[in-house]
């Protein structure tokens, strides 16, 4: 039991100017956190209590799923990362942790980095400690601070430079066993989000810089989310924007027979899809080929899409390049023979085809049949371009961005799009890291094999804010029972009345015996202030003890999530409070 007057809950009437979204404003106004700098926050007592709640539920669910808790350093010798498979890609987001001196001691390359995640640390550990199939499977997790030098921290805790994450790493003897671990974690995640009262859904996701074979993201639907979820409610299909695909191109699509002769025509000044759509050319965007030049690991490659489609850059990750980026105009001309706007992938028109690492075409261009593309000659295009006959395609793939309304691959019904906050992510990694670090085990036939890995993350601090985003009203936060910093708030309107305070303490004890945590508002404030703060802070169950009520022999019982107020006779109050707590716990247990 805590007394508000002795505790520290600095609430604010007005929102700070730098908060835009509801959950960010409420985090500050309800006194949960304070900002130190961009993406850096101090957790005040109330914020810390919520964090501890989430952490504990997370720990319980991980352990229930068979994972084992460890604690790894946050300062990593950089050589672990240099030995790993993603140093080039990951180093930009890592803080370096050299001496804070004036640079005389500081080497050019970092000696230490702050850990953004821990694959590079856990894999060498397991390599050294586990060598027999008898010791597998193993799944290690920790709940700790992560450091990422985010280019743009956002929305309070939503994307911070320093944040709390649960990260877990599974090691298995085989692909099948690894899938089992993966599914166990997926179930544990679902249990975790259910218990803390967050509505999170699992969606198929891209593996990104993590590498590996497949993954799911856990998304909390919210308008302010950073990610688009593409889904169809009926079929159950759900994927994030980077991964989403559709049945736009039928599987059995027969390529049209070549039609017409390849023909060059002058298009002076035309360098955009839109300009070619306009008169006098009038070529619809879905009959144009869009040719993009990228640089992958230093070598240029082409991506061909329909003129009406957008490239989903993340999908280029499937091509196997370590890093890739759009080519500059200066890089393009020597390879292609023309400036951007007149490019094409027609055989024989590319100036220096030998320089290319490949020509990758989106499946959807097969829908074009007879189309138009750049001639690799400034001011000229080619018409009657046929995919199979004319284009120098190395490989077809899915590179386009899916749009709402396209047919779902599962049901053929239209796909929908909504925004979401990514609160968790699970990856089946395969042997990407175990191979790099030599994490192998010996089987019962004395054969050595690489371990099959998985890695799993939950953004605990981000989840905290996502809950607020999902559960608030005009007056403040509405905490789910299991996430609340306290479950019961006792508002004593006349704290100078000994009778009122005595009753408050008795009720607090009853609520505590029933398993709740109690905060008593004993401040010498007017009732209006206390009620406003109570709504703002959002503790699920509020008991009000006032001089007026006591004269009538009643106290009030009110749920934060409901409007109605129940008057309870003082004589029955202890029993009623205990029953209310028990009921809330049962409800929280049943549906989160």
Nearer Cβ to RNA, position 116 or 374?
A: 116
How near is the Cβ of 291 to RNA at its closest, in Å? Answer: 20
Nearer Cβ to RNA, position 64 or 548?
A: 548
DSSP letters of 102-164? Answer: SSSS--SS-SEEE-S--HHHHHHHHHHH--BGGG--EEEEEEEEEE---SS-BTTTTB-SEEE
How near is the Cβ of 546 to RNA at its closest, in Å? Answer: 2
The distance in angstroms from the start CA to the end CA of the chain is: 24
Nearer Cβ to RNA, position 120 or 533?
A: 533
Nearer Cβ to RNA, position 143 or 173?
A: 143
CA separation for the pair 207, 451 (Å, rounded):
19
How near is the Cβ of 440 to RNA at its closest, in Å? Answer: 25
How near is the Cβ of 259 to RNA at its closest, in Å? Answer: 37
How near is the Cβ of 457 to RNA at its closest, in Å? Answer: 4
**Nearest CA to 220 among 243, 189, 244, 246?**
189
CA separation for the pair 11, 394 (Å, rounded):
61
Nearer Cβ to RNA, position 167 or 574?
A: 167
How near is the Cβ of 206 to RNA at its closest, in Å? Answer: 7
- List Cβ neighbours of 252 (8 Å cut-off, separation of 6 or more): none
Nearer Cβ to RNA, position 112 or 559?
A: 559
Nearer Cβ to RNA, position 410 or 548?
A: 548
The answer to whether 195 touches 62, Cβ cutoff 8 Å, is no
How near is the Cβ of 359 to RNA at its closest, in Å? Answer: 22
3-class SS of residue 386:
strand
Nearer Cβ to RNA, position 58 or 136?
A: 58
DSSP letters of 410-470? Answer: TT-SBPEEEEEEEEEEEEEEETHHHHHHT-EEE-TTS-EEEPEEEEEEEEHHHHHHHHHHH
The answer to whether 40 touches 161, Cβ cutoff 8 Å, is yes
The answer to whether 194 touches 180, Cβ cutoff 8 Å, is no
How near is the Cβ of 311 to RNA at its closest, in Å? Answer: 10
DSSP letters of 247-261? Answer: SSS-TTPPPPPP-S-
């Amino acid at each position: 039991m805590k007394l508000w007057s002795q505790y520290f809950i600095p609430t604010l009437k007005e929102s700070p100017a730098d908060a835009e979204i509801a959950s960010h404003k409420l985090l500050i106004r309800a006194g949960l956190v304070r900002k130190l700098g961009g993406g850096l926050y101090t957790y005040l007592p109330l914020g810390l209590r919520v964090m501890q709640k989430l952490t504990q539920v997370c720990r319980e669910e991980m352990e229930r799923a068979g994972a084992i808790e460890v604690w790894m350093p946050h300062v990593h010798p950089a050589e672990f990362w240099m030995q790993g498979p993603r140093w080039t890609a990951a180093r930009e987001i890592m803080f370096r942790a050299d001496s804070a001196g004036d640079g005389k001691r500081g080497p050019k390359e970092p000696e230490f980095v702050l850990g953004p995640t821990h694959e590079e640390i856990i894999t060498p550990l397991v390599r050294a400690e586990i060598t027999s199939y008898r010791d597998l499977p193993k799944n290690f997790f920790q709940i700790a601070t992560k450091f990422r030098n985010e280019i743009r921290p956002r929305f309070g805790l939503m994307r911070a430079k320093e944040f709390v994450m649960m990260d877990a790493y599974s090691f298995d003897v085989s692909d099948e066993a690894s899938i089992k671990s993966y599914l166990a974690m997926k179930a544990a995640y679902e249990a975790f989000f259910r218990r803390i009262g967050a509505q999170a859904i699992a969606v198929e996701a891209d593996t990104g810089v993590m590498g590996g074979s497949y993954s799911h993201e856990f998304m909390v639907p919210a308008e302010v989310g950073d990610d688009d979820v593409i889904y169809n409610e009926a079929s159950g299909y759900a994927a994030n924007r980077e991964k989403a695909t559709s049945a736009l191109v039928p599987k059995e699509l027969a390529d049209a027979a070549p039609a017409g002769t390849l023909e060059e025509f002058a298009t002076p000044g035309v360098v955009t899809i839109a300009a070619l759509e306009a008169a006098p050319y009038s070529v619809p965007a879905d009959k144009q080929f869009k040719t993009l030049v990228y640089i992958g690991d230093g070598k240029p490659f082409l991506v061909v899409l329909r003129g009406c489609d957008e490239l989903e850059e993340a999908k280029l990750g499937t091509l196997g390049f370590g890093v890739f980026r759009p080519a500059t105009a200066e890089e393009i001309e020597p390879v292609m023979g023309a400036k951007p706007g007149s490019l094409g992938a027609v055989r024989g028109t590319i100036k220096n085809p030998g320089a290319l690492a490949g020509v990758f075409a989106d499946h959807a261009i097969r829908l074009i049949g007879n189309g138009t593309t750049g001639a690799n000659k400034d001011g000229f295009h080619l018409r009657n371009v046929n995919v199979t006959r004319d284009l120098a395609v190395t490989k077809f793939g899915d590179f386009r961005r899916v749009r709402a309304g396209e047919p779902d691959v599962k049901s053929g019904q239209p796909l929908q799009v909504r925004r979401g906050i990514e609160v968790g992510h699970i990856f089946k990694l395969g042997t990407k890291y175990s191979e790099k670090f030599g994490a192998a085990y010996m089987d019962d036939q004395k054969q050595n094999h690489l371990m099959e890995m998985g890695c799993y993350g939950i953004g605990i601090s981000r989840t905290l804010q996502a809950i607020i985003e999902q559960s608030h009203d005009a007056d403040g936060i509405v905490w789910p029972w299991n996430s609340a910093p306290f479950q019961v708030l006792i508002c004593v309107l006349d704290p100078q009345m000994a009778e009122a305070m005595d009753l408050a303490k008795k009720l607090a004890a009853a609520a505590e015996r029933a398993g709740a945590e109690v905060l008593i508002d004993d401040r010498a404030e007017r009732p209006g202030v206390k009620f406003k703060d109570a709504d703002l802070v959002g503790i699920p169950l509020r008991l009000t003890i006032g001089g007026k009520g006591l004269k009538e022999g009643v106290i009030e019982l009110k749920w934060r999530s409901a409007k109605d107020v129940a008057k309870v006779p003082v004589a029955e109050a202890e029993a009623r409070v205990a029953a209310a707590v028990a009921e809330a716990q049962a409800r929280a247990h049943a549906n989160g």
